[in-house]
Amino acid sequence: MKNITVIGSGTMGNGIAHTFAQNGFSVSLVDISDAALQKALQTIAGNLDRQIKKGSIDEAAKTATLNNIKTYTDVKDGAADADLVVEAATENREIKLKLFKQLSEVCKPEVILASNTSSISITEIAAATANPANVIGMHFMNPVPVMKLVEVIRGYATTDVVTDTIMELSRQLGKEPVEVNDYPGFVANRILMPMINEAIYTLFEGVAGVHEIDTVMKLGMAHPMGPLQLADFIGLDVCLAILKVLHNGFGNPKYAPCPLLVNMVTAGHLGVKSGSGFYKYTAGSKDLVVAEKFA
Ligand SMILES: NC(=O)c1ccc[n+]([C@@H]2O[C@H](COP(=O)([O-])OP(=O)(O)OC[C@H]3O[C@@H](n4cnc5c(N)ncnc54)[C@H](O)[C@@H]3O)[C@@H](O)[C@H]2O)c1
């Protein structure tokens, strides 16, 4: 494995590109938006600077990492030479099915196609390609350069060889891979999202405020971040999309998204990325301030 194509240069895509490039892989980063690509390169450079400040890398490693990344706005140009594609585009079923069909047409026949999806069925994504045996889930955690876990998701047709290759590759990136099977939410989000949804219900029903709910979980359960802050960090639209997959996939009302979450997403209050969610985010501010609506 040498040539890695990362599709989507948002929150996750820039972190995945950073991690592969820092480990010596040649990375083609693809996005439909040139502005998103430019923003991703800036974010990667800023995160590398932070690593230099911490003393974990030097200037030469920063230069080498940035030199390992090329950007493209056309999937065909960016993916033709790929040994592995890691798709981290918007969490939308139609977008992903279309992308995987296109990837299986433009890539080398032996390519492995991985998705970083949080919740969409790997088996369904694989079925859109010519070779479902070579399709797998490679679910990185946010922020990718920092978080150790890769949840490796086997679709119905994924082979042992492909799974072993991705497990080994994850270790080469300094990560700890865990193999799981393809059912709604896999393991990580099947457990995390009902907790986040319950925290939102707790707020919605007036049991406690934003600060109080997060403090209980931080100080009482030793979570590094409260569930409402974590939801803001993940993106409330992403949380809602995952809960809908769990609700539809299992048909169990316990996964129904809280109406408050639905309202917030409809209003465009998506958390960190929109500047406001349960907390409000002003550029440069390190203080965690509860959003006016909940203050
Ligand atoms: N945000 C998280 O904490 C998190 C964690 C784990 C996994 N994920 C998953 O990672 C994926 C990406 O999430 P994100 O938070 O980075 O989203 P994001 O909204 O930050 O970025 C998505 C990017 O994909 C691009 N895009 C959309 N359609 C495209 C296409 N057809 N071709 C190329 N690029 C396209 C968009 O322009 C955007 O830049 C999703 O599947 C999500 O479920 C997210």
pTM (2 d.p.) = 0.92
Q: What is the DSSP string of 138-198?
A: EEE-SSTTT--EEEEEE-TT--HHHHHHHHHHHHHTT-EEEEEE-STTTTHHHHHHHHHHH
Length of the chain: 295
**H helical segments located in 23-119:** 34-54, 59-67, 75-79, 93-106
The helix or strand, by DSSP H or E, that contains position 114, with its residue range, turns out to be strand 112-115
For the chain, the structural domain boundaries read 3-181, 189-290
Q: pLDDT, tens digit, for every residue of 35-66?
A: 999 999 999 999 999 999 999 999 999 999 99
Atom of ligand 1 nearest to the CA of 13: 16
- Please give the mean pLDDT across all residues of the chain: 97
Q: Which numeric CATH code is attached to 189-290?
A: 1.10.1040.50
Residue 113 near residue 107 (C-beta atoms within 8 A): yes
**For position 287, what pLDDT does the model report?**
87
Among residues 9, 28, 116, 118, which one is catalytic?
A: 118
pLDDT digits (tens, 9 = 90+) for 58-89: 999 999 999 999 999 999 999 999 999 999 99
Assess whether the C-beta atom of 114 lies below 6 angstroms from ligand 1.
no
229 lines ligand 1 (CB under 6 A): no
The b-or-e profile of 52-86 (16+ CB within 10 A means b, else e) is eeeeebeeeebeebeebbebbeebeebbbebbbbb
Class of domain 3-181: alpha beta
